[in-house]
Amino acid sequence: MPVPTQMEFFVDPGRCIGCQSCVQACSECDTHKGHSMIQLDYIDRASSTQTVPVICMHCDSPTCAEVCPADAIKRTGDGVVQSARKPRCIACNNCVIACPFGVPKMNTGMHLMMKCDMCYDRTSVGKKPMCASVCPSQALFFGTRAEIEKLRPLSQPINQFQFGNQSISTRVNLMVPKAARIEHLDVTAALHEAPVGRDVLDDLLMDNMTADREEE
């Protein structure tokens, strides 16, 4: 039974509180054999508590599958990119390196790549993925488009990404503020920018130092 088309994943990084619930819940799922497939990324750990849960975006042109030399990564008809097929995976790490989102994980002990597969054992029978079912702030939300519009009137879901020359549309949506008015996210554009948080912090520090000197 496929995952229903109208059920979609919405990731809202702005709501993430870094509680690690999703990371723990993920390891409970049977399809990845007790290993957590979620990575909780810190945006700029020195100056901010902001975290982002990274789940598979399930691209319509999966780079992981494109680079697989063993033809092991497959996408089911409902658009979910599955973990590598065990008889084929040669543990070469190509997918791990190639994925623009950094999703696939190599289990060298099992000689197998495993990745977030939207908890296929659960979503294919109409349940929510583990992470979405535990997320206390619903930064990971699994439901219909109508539901999310009602719940987040100020945000809009987008699923278009730009990685250099590669444009990707995904099955999973990212919530961005409606005010931003963007059609796609250019992910690599931010690579060479200094993080915003540090600039602010540096300024504060400088201000304090100059203030101290003035007092002296």
Q: Does 61 bind other proteins (CB under 8 A)?
A: yes
What is the C-alpha separation between 132 and 128, in angstroms, rounded?
Answer: 6
Among 33, 42, 66, 194, which residue sits at the site for other proteins (rule: CB under 8 A)?
A: 66
What is the C-alpha separation between 167 and 61, in angstroms, rounded?
Answer: 9
Total residues at interface with other proteins (CB under 8 A): 20
Q: Judge whether 4 and 117 are in contact, CB under 8 Å.
A: no
Site for other proteins in 18-37 (CB under 8 A): none
Annotate each residue in 78-97 with x if it binds other proteins (CB under 8 A) or - if it does not, as one string.
xx--x---------------
What is the C-alpha separation between 144 and 8, in angstroms, rounded?
Answer: 6
Site for other proteins in 101-130 (CB under 8 A): none
Q: Does 170 bind other proteins (CB under 8 A)?
A: no
**Placement of tokens 């000689």 in the chain:** 111
Q: Judge whether 137 and 76 are in contact, CB under 8 Å.
A: no
Rounded to the nearest angstrom, the gap between the alpha carbon of residue 24 and the centroid of all alpha carbons in its chain is: 16
Window of 11-19, 73-81, 151-159, 204-212 that interacts with other proteins by CB under 8 A: 73-81
Q: Does 203 bind other proteins (CB under 8 A)?
A: no
What is the C-alpha separation between 31 and 150, in angstroms, rounded?
Answer: 32
Q: Does 44 bind other proteins (CB under 8 A)?
A: no
Point out which residues bind other proteins (CB under 8 A). 2, 5, 60-63, 65-66, 71, 73-79, 82, 166-167, 171
